[in-house]
Amino acid sequence: AAVDSLSSEVPEEIVLAILMDFPPEEADGVISSILSKLQLLTHDEATLKRYIQQLMILSRLRKLDTATEKKVEA
């Protein structure tokens, strides 16, 4: 599930974890984990911003864009 995707070392796969099947109550934790992992895997600010932008777009599909935006800004 989402946790398996987060074990990846490929940022694109990490971003896709937002689309995995996880209970709504776990959304904040999954989003935080995605952001943390992306920060670990990216080596410059521009790349990180690009992945966060992709995450924001995909999070809309799960109606998690508001929660994602809050975590990004935190």
pTM of the entire predicted model: 0.90
How many CB atoms within 10 Å of residue 46? Answer: 8
Enumerate the domain spans of the chain.
2-73
pLDDT in tens, 16-71: 999 998 998 999 999 999 999 999 999 999 999 999 999 999 999 999 999 999 99
- pLDDT the model gives residue 9: 92
d(CA 26, CA 22): 7
